[in-house]
Amino acid sequence: MSDLRRSWVAGANDPGTDFPLNNLPYGVFSTGALSPRCGVAIGDHILDVASAEERGLTGTDGLLRDARWNPLMAAGPQAWQDFRARLIQLLAEGAEKRAAVEPLLVPMSDARPHMPFAVTEYTDFYACRQHATNVGTMFRGPENALPPNWLHIPIGYNGRASTVVVSGTEIRRPLGQTKARDAAAPEFGPSKRLDIELEIGAIVGTPSQMGQPVTVAQARQMIFGYVLLNDWSARDIQAWEYQPLGPFQAKAFATSISPWIVTTEALAPFAAPAPTREVPLLPYLHEDSPGLYDVALSVEMNGQTISTTNMRELYYSSAQQLAHHASSGCAMRTGDLLGSGTISGPTPENCGSLLEMTWGGANPITVGGEPRTFIEDGDTLTLKGHAQGAGFRIGFGACTGTIRPAPDI
């Protein structure tokens, strides 16, 4: 495990910060005086790297000109490594160019986050065995909990890039068609069983060609970084629509991501192996090195922690998901976002959705002294995550969203 890299930015050396020099995640921010631009989180500040590029400090030659990270993402792994190395030189303790860089620091408290990249396509997977088992048990019984293909294939569905939003964006309760079990006909109206899904999102940097599969090793090299991801879900809409083609409107209305992209390089010291395979995977999904990460995750409702889990609970890594996605010859593009699927552990306190925590609403949890099942208007849900090092942490920042009432119909 690596040690803390010390920075001349004092806040970056605080053991409790999400953003030490070891991290340097990428986001887009604005202030009252600054229009949206690319920034790098360091301690309790943001380095305005768009301005740093204009001053010739980053070596990126216009890649940071737009208020999104897609141009650097498309430039490939060598460009990513060179840029990160340049940042470390600029921000490390004793840096020669501190005097040129220091005026470009913006207090994080003064900044407003924006979407850090343009999402090209969004695919959501179902890659945690405990989550799949829980949901399958609820709907099909324990003997048929896992679909026959689940231990062989990373299952996913194509979502909506148009409704992926940055942390802090308010979410309107969705309208949709639902049908109560004992009702003669469906009805249309606001979802009554609104839920969250705690996930990790992997961001594709370098693209692949249509008709050309990629290996898991190649897929790992294509991944630019990771975000926390909340796949908001309307369970009553989902229950009525999901057969035969899976989720549709129940998932299309909103997906929230954290504002900072944590790079694959920053997470590399925290690589973790996949769980033991019950059945061997086909060769194209073989992973010759650990593909998961030891990232502690939590869910808060209105400021109270209601669940904790870890990214290690996934059965399929993001690289395996990406390799499977491309295996048919599907072209992957810069800015594609792959959701891991809900990450859940073995107990209700380790589950990544209220559906599981409350077992479909049958076992309420206590929040603020009150019994709760699904999300009510006005609730704020917050996802958090970090990898813990020796005296430092690699954090994502919070992924938050507050639910507002459904639109009038």
Q: How far apart are CA 30 and CA 225, in angstroms?
A: 22
Q: How far apart are CA 267 and CA 319, in angstroms?
A: 14
What DSSP element (H or E) covers 324?
A: helix 318-326
Q: How far is CA 166 from CA 12, 169, 227, 256, 261, in A?
A: 24, 6, 10, 6, 11
Q: How far apart are CA 201 and CA 13, in angstroms?
A: 27
Catalytic residue among 114, 131, 324, 386: 131
Question: Which one, of 324, 299, 317, lies nearest residue 400 by Cα?
Answer: 299
Three-state SS for 346-379 is CCHHHCCCHHHHCCCCCCCEEECCEEECCCCCCC
Contact 177, 190 (CB under 8 A): no
Contact 339, 199 (CB under 8 A): yes
How long is the chain? Answer: 409
Contact 336, 147 (CB under 8 A): no
Q: How far apart are CA 165 and CA 256, in angstroms?
A: 5
Q: Is 351 left (phi over 0), alpha (psi -120 to 50) or beta?
A: beta
45 catalytic? Reply is no
Q: How far is CA 37 from CA 24, 31, 64, 170, in A?
A: 16, 10, 8, 22
Q: Which residues are catalytic?
A: 131
